[in-house]
Amino acid sequence: MMGMLGCVLMSLLVMVADGFVVHGSSGPLVAPLGSSVVLPCYVDKLSSMKGLEVEWRRADSNALVHLFLDGESRPESQEPDYQDRAHFFTDQIQHGNFSLRLDNLTAEDEGRYTCRVYSQEDSGEVLVQLKHERFLVLGSDRSVSAYDGEDVTLNCSLDSHVSLEDVEVSWTRTDGGILVLLFQDNQTFSDSVDEQYRDRAEFFTAEISKGNFSLRLKSVRIEDKGVYMCQVSAGVLSANVTVELEQLGFSSWHIAVLFFCIAAGLAAVLLLVSLIWCRMNNAAGSISKKVCDLQLSLVFCPNICMFLAFMLWGFTEASLNETITCCALYILRPFMLIWAMPYLNYLQGNLKAWIKFFKITRELAIFTVVFYSALFAHGWRLRAHDASIVPRVAMGISFGVIVLLCLLLSRGFKNKILHLILISCLSVCQMSQLMFTFGFSSLGNT
């Protein structure tokens, strides 16, 4: 009962002593950091200024905040932390107003303040509680888990009444500082974010007015795993919260990729063992149809499995350039291996004709065109926002020359010197294409 009575007295913040009534605040004062706040303290009627003394102190440390004595303020008596920051309204004191203005509010200013008033006839005091405005950003205390390809929500909400025009919110990956999404000047900026999150990261637009800046990340990938930070700023106020995205489970696509990779390895081992066993049991110098079939299977099966694995990997990770290149490599590799095996003369029919058609130079030409097509598309996107068109024009010319040289190589020439010249020119153009794609970054700014 006594505790309840004390709370009531604190909320009213009014103390009566010897008939002298000092009034204060009806509740805690809340003000933002860096602002000015007035701590109220006044009496209904001041009978006389004679012998008046007003003293403001910290209730927790008894530190002197400000003093009015002998008809004037005494700033020299203040604690150093309050000098030039705590002021009386001097012209109002004669009217019974002893309120204190505290400038440039800091976090350390939070606490309880006592205003004591003494005169020759009466005395009294009042307690005022001061709090700085809490700029809280709330998130989730648990990590977020998801299956690959799902949409996930990373929570971030603002627990404060701040105008959205003053708020800036940025979502970043802590490992590398990759910008995921940005809210500024009351609008969302998605063009300035990292390319891997473009068109996949978004705010809940209808919830922004409520201070909800949660991030929706669509079609999560394995490489999205990590720690994300939601940084919220409003003027001098700033706060952040982190959310961890972990335990990304395998989707059916990933399981299929894993299956084909394992199948490629097992097929290679089993077929190789079978081939060695058959060759050991064959008569010396003879080649049976079974040995030839096993040799062809050893060349084709693992590479076809890896071709399918990279196709599915491309669908899962949306890495088009890498997928095209790897698929081209694995679909052409069997022809190169058959060219190198000792049984080429024993092949018959269409298979032999196809193998001879894909001779080494033709394979090189096809793979080069496929690889540099993907590289050209990637470089074209990288240079999309360059101020100058020089890099794009250079890449286009270089790629066109590469395609022309590959067509010439695929025709085949008996003259070895001509072959050597074409391959040398092709190498120079390939190097140029690489440099125009990933180097000479200054060209885009000229």
DSSP per residue, 81-137? GGTTTEEE-GGGGGGTB--EEE-S--GGG-EEEEEEEE-SS-EEEEEEEEEEPP-EE
| Contact yes or no for 179/193 (Cβ under 8 A) | yes
Residues 414, 336 share a domain:
no
Whether residue 261 sits in one domain with residue 244: no
Torsions phi, psi for 355 (to 5 deg): -65, -45
Q: Is residue 155 part of a domain?
A: yes
Q: Which pLDDT value is given to residue 154?
A: 92
**One domain for residues 177 and 267:** no
Residues 27 and 120 in one domain: yes
Has residue 98 been placed in a domain? yes
Domain that holds residue 90: 8-132
- Shared-domain flag, residues 240 and 336: no
Q: At what angle do helices 320-340 and 360-382 cross, to 10 degrees?
A: 170
Pair 180, 215: CB distance under 8 Å = yes
Q: CA–CA separation, 94 vs 264, rounded Å?
A: 95
Contact at 8 Å (CB) between 139 and 71? no
CA 374/CA 388 separation, integer angstroms = 22
Residue 182 shares a structural domain with residue 197: yes
Can you give the CATH number for the domain in which 221 is found? 2.60.40.10
Same-domain pairing of 70 and 108: yes
Residue 2 in any domain: the answer is: no
In a domain, 407, yes or no: yes
Query: Looking at residue 146, what is its pLDDT?
Result: 78
C-alpha angle 350/355/359, rounded to 5°? 145
Of the residues 288, 321, 355, the one at which a domain ends: 355
Spatial separation of the C-alpha atoms in residues 145 and 222, rounded to whole Å: 11
Predicted confidence at residue 3, as pLDDT, reads 42
- 442 is a domain residue: yes
Which residue, of 132, 158, 178, is where some domain finishes? Answer: 132
The stretch 315-342 carries a mean pLDDT of 68
Tell if the pTM clears 0.95, that is, is over it.
Answer: no
* Same domain flag for 378 and 435: yes
Work out how many domains the chain is built from and give that number.
4
Nearest in space to 398 (alpha carbons), one of 412, 379, 381: 379
Q: Please tell me whether residues 121 and 164 are part of one structural domain.
A: no
199-230 pLDDT, tens per residue? 889 999 888 888 889 999 998 887 788 899 99
| Residues 92 and 27 reside in one and the same domain | yes
- For residue 143, name the pLDDT band (cuts at 50, 70, 90): confident
Burial class for 161, CB neighbours closer than 10 Å (0-12, 13-18, 19+): exposed
With respect to residue 26, please indicate whether it lies within any of the assigned structural domains. Answer: yes
Percent of all residues in the chain with a pLDDT value above 90, rounded to a whole number: 16
Please report whether residue 1 resides in a domain: no
Please state, in angstroms and rounded to a whole number, the distance separating the CA atoms of residues 425 and 398: 11
- 21 and 124 share a domain? yes
Residue at which a domain ends, from 229, 249, 269:
249
Q: Are residues 194 and 242 in the same domain?
A: yes
Q: Is residue 327 pLDDT above 70, yes or no?
A: yes
Express each pLDDT in 34-76 by its tens digit: 788 999 999 988 777 888 899 999 998 889 999 998 888 898 8
Helix (H) or strand (E) holding 291: helix 289-317
Which residue matches tokens 């885009």? 444
Could you tell me if residue 3 is inside a domain? no
pLDDT at residue 340 tops 80: no
pLDDT tens digits, residue range 76-86?
889 998 988 99
> What is the rounded average pLDDT for all residues in the chain?
79
- pLDDT at 15 > cutoff 60: no
Q: What pLDDT, on a 0 to 100 scale, did the predictor assign at position 166?
A: 77
